[in-house]
Chains A and B, each alone.
Chain A
Amino acid sequence: MDIARRTEWKILASPLVVFLLLFLGFPAIVNLIYSLSQVSFESLRSPTLTGPQNYLDVLTDSSFWSACWFSLRFGLITAVAECLLGLFLAIFLAPLIEKHSFLMAPLMLPLMVAPAMIGLMYRLVLHEFVGPVPYYLYTFFGDSPSFLNADNAFWTLCVVEALQWTPFAFLLFYMAYQAIPLEVRQAAQIDGASPAQILRRIDLPLMLPTIVVAFFIRFIDGFRVFDNVYTLTGSGPGGSTTSLSIYIYEAFFKQGAIGKAVAASVVLFIASFAVLFGLNWLANRRRKAAA
């Protein structure tokens, strides 16, 4: 009976497993082989094994490390900005949204637009001749910074990313804020706690797990950013906005350096796996400590 049921579970899960092996397992193996080979678009089917040369090329490539640095900074800065803004909006606007829940819709709308589209839209918004932002800055201040030059492009991209994904943090925090039992706050109020004290001693500590989750989700998405950076600045000016994803894309499509691109992919895979593994381990340990 149990064995029969166990077989049934296996059968039900097997389509998914087969699909994953085909579309993720096989590519992972291809990645591994090609990263250890010399290969070009002409010799795609007959790579020659050459050992770890591609990895050495990647790890000694200064633009690989500057791409790492870009992704790391971009992920951290945008995640912090999104969480702070989202937290503020969730707590400050909660009384309004509780009463008029449809107000959620316009706040969530940026999440429905493709990041690639948002990147294209900002090319219009920030354009020096047809963009309203430079237009009004010229009108009122007589000058407008060039948002997409080498000095400013990074920060422009951070703002673009943060404004699109703040609603995500807001949504998570609003849900967590709503989940705090009213009695807890009322009890604190009766004990004479001020609104600021309630926020600091009750709301924020109870929301902390959600804040941590939101931060990591947003950090990871910022770290692997591709779409909006690609459509807004490409990788320019002068490669100053090359994220890791864009580095791999350009190595493959623009330079035809397949081995290097694939080796960088494997490095990135190992790095993200290590980070995820560490996070899971930490979460499990905390869960055990709490139990």
Chain B
Amino acid sequence: MKILRWIVLVVAVLVLNFPVLVTLITSFKSGAELSINPGFWIDQPTLENYAKILQVDDRLNIFGYLANSLIASLIGTTLAILLAFPAAYAIARGGFGRKALMPAIVNLRAVPLIIFAIPIYMMFQWVGLLDTQLGLGLILTIVNLPLALIVLVNAIDDIPLELDEAAKIDGASTFQIMLRVVRPVIRPALVTTFIFGFITAWNEFLFGLMLTTSKAVPMTVGASFFFAASGGGVQWGPASAVMIVGALPPMLLGLVMYRQISGSMTAGAVKG
């Protein structure tokens, strides 16, 4: 039975990660090898695909895509936390908007975002935010807000009210309590929100596709250019290398996040 569990685990990991594994293998094959050997092994591993994609040309600029994704994601994650944290504090401690604001934002997670994409496209055109990192970052903030708010409200709900009251007796203002008392205590939740939000933002595609054309194209959209750009069929080797480079940052962060989650879980268990 134990062996069977291990077999199921290995099969599940291989099948679930199959597209990533195939792409990783293909990224180390030369064009010549790929045409005769589409299988799982590599006869002559090569880095030529990676060397090729790192050469910047006018149409495809992988460093530009990576920088756009990084900056837009950082804006989208940081701003979401800056907006959500005080609101979460007001919701958790003051009961402000628990009836209307909170459900509205939580349900936002379930609304197809394409609904807002078209008017936002027009709005951005009017104010000149189309095809800018800031514009994309602002939209990624919306994408991140629901989850950020839920996580932070739950985290603050878990803090004993006595902590706030003790600080209040010491003469701290609401604003001071929020920053000096609550913020340090929910630091793990803030970190988790940040990492998760960054991954979500990095992986967003729809708004990147609609709201950027050249200057602010994020990695997910830029990767699809490698499929469309080359006349006479896709160059699969370089395309694979691009996908690996584009998928690597959130995957690495995900491994970090996994540790964080299990870390904070064990910390909670020790405390309890």
Q: Which residues of A contact B (CB under 8 A)?
A: 5-6, 8-10, 12-13, 15-17, 19-20, 23-24, 26-28, 30-31, 34, 44-45, 89, 92-93, 95-96, 101-118, 120-125, 127, 129-132, 134-136, 163-164, 166-167, 217, 220, 223-224, 226-227, 230-231, 244-245, 248-249, 252-253, 258, 261-262, 265-266, 268-269, 272-273, 276, 280
Query: Do residues A19 and B141 form an inter-chain contact, with CB atoms below 8 A?
Result: yes
Count of chain B residues near A, Cβ 8 A: 91
Complex Cα–Cα for A26 and B9 (A): 48
Query: Do residues B84 and A16 form an inter-chain contact, with CB atoms below 8 A?
Result: yes
Complex Cα–Cα for A106 and B87 (A): 35
Query: Do residues A248 and B114 form an inter-chain contact, with CB atoms below 8 A?
Result: yes
Q: Is B125 an interface residue, CB under 8 A from the partner? A: yes
Complex Cα–Cα for A44 and B210 (A): 17
Distance in Å: Cβ of B116 to nearest Cβ of chain A: 5
Query: Do residues B254 and A269 form an inter-chain contact, with CB atoms below 8 A?
Result: no
Give residues of chain B (96-128) contacting chain A, Cβ–Cβ below 8 Å.
96-97, 101, 103, 105, 107-108, 110-123, 125-126
Query: Do residues B205 and A135 form an inter-chain contact, with CB atoms below 8 A?
Result: no
Complex Cα–Cα for A163 and B250 (A): 18
Q: Is B75 an interface residue, CB under 8 A from the partner? A: no
Q: Which of A117, A131, A276 makes the CB contact (< 8 A) with B38? A: A131
Grouping DSSP codes into helix (H, G, I), strand (E, B) and loop, the B interface class, with mixed when no group exceeds half, is helix
Q: Which of A113, A135, A163 makes the CB contact (< 8 A) with B247? A: A113
Contacts A163-B15, A249-B210 known; A280 to B236 CB distance under 8 Å?
no
Query: Do residues A112 and B89 form an inter-chain contact, with CB atoms below 8 A?
Result: no
Contacts A13-B96, A111-B254, A262-B119 known; A106 to B107 CB distance under 8 Å?
no
Q: Which residues of B contact A10 (CB under 8 A)?
A: 90, 96
Query: Do residues B5 and A92 form an inter-chain contact, with CB atoms below 8 A?
Result: yes
Distance in Å: Cβ of A50 to nearest Cβ of chain B: 18
